[in-house]
Each structure stands twice: as C-alpha cells, then as structure tokens.
C-alpha cells in the first residue's frame, strides 16, 4: 500500500525536464554537462533534477576524475510500468465481470 519508492518514481516522471533527461539517458550514458546542454536552466538546477532522479532509483551516476557519468536504471522504469499495467488489467477484469453479470440468465426478462 505505502510504496515510497513508487511515490518518488512517479514524482520524478511528473516533471518535463526530468522526463527529457530520461529520454536522453535511454539512448545511452551521459555526463552532467551533456544532460544540461539542451535544458533551458542553470547547471545547479539540473543537478537538483538529477538528485531527484537518483533518489527515485531511475538513474545512477558515478564520478571519474571531474566527470560524473549518468545512466538509466531500468528496474525502476519497469516497476512504474508494472504498477500502471497491473491496474489497467484489474480494470479490464472488472469490466469483464460486469459484462458477465449483464449476460447472465438471471438478467433475462
């Protein structure tokens, strides 16, 4: 019920800047500067977004020398995907039950 990880993952994906960063990272790893280059904001602002992505588990990064390289962590992507897919499946099953109920003999005139 209380899934803190999901809170953070969905919250991370709710921001267009962070989705843009994810879009970049699904094509391969990138440095902080490379992530920031196309974004209309300061580098510290990008750092904050990166921190949110890392805390959610969607992104991991490591620093070598003075360069920090960021990469996607696909497990969290799957977790978010699965939560939504599961709920959509539940909804479809409940529709099926409704259909079966309406088709059942007890509902004939």
Partner DNA sequence: CTGATAGTTAAGCATATACTTAAGTATAAA
Partner DNA sequence: TTTATACTTAAGTATATGCTTAACTATCAG
Which residues here bind DNA, judged by CB under 7 A? 11, 14-15, 17, 31-34, 40-45, 47-50, 52, 63-68
**What CA–CA distance (Å, rounded) separates 84 from 91?**
11
CB closer to DNA, 16 vs 105: 16
Task: Tally Cβ neighbours within 10 Å of residue 3.
Answer: 11
CB closer to a copy of itself, 66 vs 75: 75
CA distances to 13, 63, 95 from 26, rounded to whole Å, are: 14, 19, 35
The least distance separating a copy of itself from the CB of residue 28, rounded to whole angstroms, comes to 5
Please choose, from the candidates 74, 70, 72, the residue with its C-alpha nearest in 3D space to the C-alpha of residue 36.
70
Binding residues (CB under 8 A) for a copy of itself: these are 1-3, 6-8, 10-11, 13-16, 19-20, 22-23, 25-28, 72, 74, 77-78, 80-81, 83-85, 87-88, 90-92, 94, 98
């Amino acid at each position: 019920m209380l899934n803190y990880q999901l809170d953070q993952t969905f919250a991370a994906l709710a921001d267009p800047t962070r989705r843009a960063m994810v879009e970049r990272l699904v094509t391969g790893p990138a440095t902080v500067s490379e992530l920031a280059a196309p974004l209309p904001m300061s580098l510290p602002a990008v750092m904050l977004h990166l921190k949110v992505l890392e805390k959610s588990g969607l992104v991991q990064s490591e620093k070598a020398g003075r360069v920090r390289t960021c990469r996607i962590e696909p497990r969290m992507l799957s977790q978010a995907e699965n939560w939504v897919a599961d709920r959509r499946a539940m909804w479809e099953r409940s529709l099926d039950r409704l259909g079966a109920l309406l088709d059942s003999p007890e509902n004939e005139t």
